[in-house]
Amino acid sequence: MIVSPFNPTQLHVFETALGERRLELTEKSQRLADTFAGVQSSRSDGSADGAHDAEASSLRTEWSRMSGFQGEAVEELAAIDRALQRIVDGSYGRCVRGGEIIPEGRLQIKPAADLCIACAETAAQRRR
Ligand SMILES: [Zn+2]
């Protein structure tokens, strides 16, 4: 059985950090969704003349930038939820691949981290 290397007090600190990050992402994502809705309604007011091409193109750029963020936010939220689940089941702080202890310093920077440094490096190399 995989047991977390952290005591309940430490786990509570990580849980709080994860919860705050989750809230921050949810709010940012919601604000962007509102902006999307605003962009959409301003686009659909029927002005199809060429004078708006430059504006439309900058909107498209902005749009794809926001979509990119939304995709990342969804992924990070999923990672945060998995980390919170590991706090519940008691395996938080262990590498999900090899079961090694994930250094506390790494989790302080990235509380949703689910791999030890060695496994994360291997995963990053495979992606290249
Ligand atoms: Zn590992």
Is the distance from CB of 102 to CB of 95 less than 8 angstroms? yes
13 Cα–ligand 1 center, Å: 22
Residue 113 confidence (pLDDT) above 80: yes
CB atoms within 10 A of CB 33: 12
Cβ neighbors of 71 (< 8 A, separation 6 or more) are none
Show me where the domains of the chain are located: 8-91
Average pLDDT value for the chain: 88
Supply the pTM of this predicted model. 0.78
Instruction: For 6-54, write each residue's pLDDT tens digit.
Output: 999 999 999 999 999 999 999 998 998 888 788 777 766 655 555 567 8
User: How far is the C-alpha of 111 from the C-alpha of 101, rounded, in Å?
Assistant: 13
Is the distance from CB of 117 to CB of 98 less than 8 angstroms? no
118 Cα–ligand 1 center, Å: 6
65 Cα–ligand 1 center, Å: 33
27 Cα–ligand 1 center, Å: 32
